[in-house]
Structure 1
Amino acid sequence: MNCPCGSQETYANCCKKAHQNIAHAKTAEQLMRSRYSAFVLADGDYLMASHHSKTRQPKEKKAIVNWAKSLQWIKLDVLETTKGLEKDSEGTVTFNAYFYENGKVDCIHEKSAFLKENNLWMYLGLSK
């Protein structure tokens, strides 16, 4: 199966590696792509594990999984990445995530902030 993140790799050679061991996400963009794939797969455990401890809301896991399952995910477009490389400690990724909901196409446009925690990339939240 092709990876949901749009990398043109198979899922096994792409986001599955991060889903099994978050250390495989070497950049903020790789983590963001793996999180998108986790939404497509409704993998709440990974979504919580890849969320920075300062902003993680474990009580929201069930609602996030239910929401993710209620959509038909279409594709991810990464628009811009600022910093977020292996040597960096912070970065942002701007993206569009397209999905079907209630019979129509919609899009999440977000500039996400990422921060390293224990030397691992983590999703912090919306960038300011």
Structure 2
Amino acid sequence: MTRRTPSTSHRRHQRGVSLFGLLFWAIVVGFFGYLAVVVFPTVNEYFTIKRAVDKIAAEAPATVPEVRAAFERQRAIEYSISSIGSNDLEITKENDRLVIGFAYEKEIPIVGPVYLLLKYEGRSGQ
């Protein structure tokens, strides 16, 4: 009976992740985790603005200055609204319904001269 030695037998391929593979995936996951952490506050601010605009439109103020004053009151209550002011609102009437629109951009510095540009826009009643 002949005995097989490792040099003569078929070696099984080892499976697993190398150190460089592990580092690569750690960097990729870390980068996307970092992006999620820096983007989340801007998304939260967008939804806060959207709720404020919907609330104001549901109250149906009579004049444009009343809409702007109501938005400024909401900004005073919600500290997370800092990207737009009441002058940035686009106020129209469609089918006898008050529609308040807004749009703004947010730049997030990533590394050095690299920025992430997010564009947000919304309207009441959507």
Give the TM-score normalised by structure 1: 0.29
Give the TM-score normalised by structure 2: 0.29
- Between 1 and 2, higher relative CO (CA 8 Å, sep ≥ 6) is seen in 1
